[in-house]
């Protein structure tokens, strides 16, 4: 009975086993290849060096924001690429945060898996000149755009100042007109023999 229950339990566990499976034949071949290389080194026959490409700049934008603020339900059957964190399909690994992910894709292991070394191409004089010209054009375009926006801002400020000045002049003109009107009233009262409205007394 014990053996029967144990065998049935083993069958259920094998069905529910979600662990990653490894190709034993492939790893045996890799191990044998490594042993052969070590044996050649001992015999004085070094293994031929692997020719890798020079390091190139990245021609795509790294996606670090598409999963921000999203909730993901992870189960035992969830593929590794859809688990939490940043997945690298070149190295088949998951990195938990963006800083370590950037360190990983800029690191030696990732570049080797891409077939590149950490050596960069030595630029020629013509390439440096062309790069300077491209950067200069970019700066000029930004400067032109900035000058246009700055000029529009200055024009709006000047327009507001002109409106405020015009409004102040109108107030001053109105105040001056009122003062002139009061002066005319005082002169009229003096001609008629009054020193001021409401301030004269009748003589007995």
Q: Is residue 80 part of a domain?
A: yes
- Structural domain containing residue 79: 63-119
What is the C-alpha separation between 162 and 154, in angstroms, rounded? Answer: 12
What is the C-alpha separation between 113 and 91, in angstroms, rounded? Answer: 7
pLDDT tens digits, one per residue of 76-129: 888 877 777 888 888 888 888 889 999 999 988 988 888 888 887 787 888 889
Question: What is residue 47's predicted lDDT score, i.e. its pLDDT?
Answer: 54
Assign 3-state DSSP to the chain and report helix, strand, coil percentages, each to 5: 55, 5, 35
Q: Which of 93, 119, 145 is the last residue of a domain?
A: 119
Q: Is residue 50 part of a domain?
A: no
pLDDT tens digits, one per residue of 85-95: 888 888 888 88
At residue 95, φ and ψ (nearest 5 deg) are -110, 135
Q: What is the pTM of this model?
A: 0.39
Q: Is residue 45 part of a domain?
A: no
Same domain, yes or no, for 179 and 130?
yes
Q: Is residue 168 part of a domain?
A: yes
User: CB of 95 within 8 A of CB of 104?
Assistant: yes
> What is the number of domains present in the chain?
2
Q: Which of 88, 103, 119 is the last residue of a domain?
A: 119
pLDDT tens digits, one per residue of 54-66: 777 787 888 888 8
């Amino acid at each position: 009975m014990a053996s029967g229950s144990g065998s049935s339990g083993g069958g259920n566990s094998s069905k529910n086993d979600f662990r990653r499976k490894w190709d034993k034949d492939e790893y045996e071949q890799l191990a044998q290849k490594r042993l052969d290389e070590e044996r050649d080194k001992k015999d004085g026959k070094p293994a031929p060096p692997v020719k890798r490409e020079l390091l190139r700049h990245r021609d795509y934008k790294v996606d670090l924001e598409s999963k921000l603020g999203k909730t993901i339900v992870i189960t035992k059957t969830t593929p590794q690429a859809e688990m939490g964190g940043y997945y690298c399909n070149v190295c088949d690994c998951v990195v938990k945060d963006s800083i370590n992910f950037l360190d990983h894709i800029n690191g030696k292991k990732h570049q080797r898996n891409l077939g590149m070394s950490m050596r960069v191409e030595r630029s020629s004089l013509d390439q440096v000149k062309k790069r300077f010209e491209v950067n200069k054009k970019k700066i000029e375009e930004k400067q032109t755009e900035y000058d246009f926006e700055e000029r529009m801002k200055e024009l709006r400020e000047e327009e507001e100042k002109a409106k405020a000045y015009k409004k102040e002049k109108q107030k001053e003109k109105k105040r001056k007109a009122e003062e002139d009107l009061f002066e005319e009233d005082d002169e009229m009262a003096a001609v008629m023999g009054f020193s001021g409205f409401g301030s004269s007394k009748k003589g007995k």
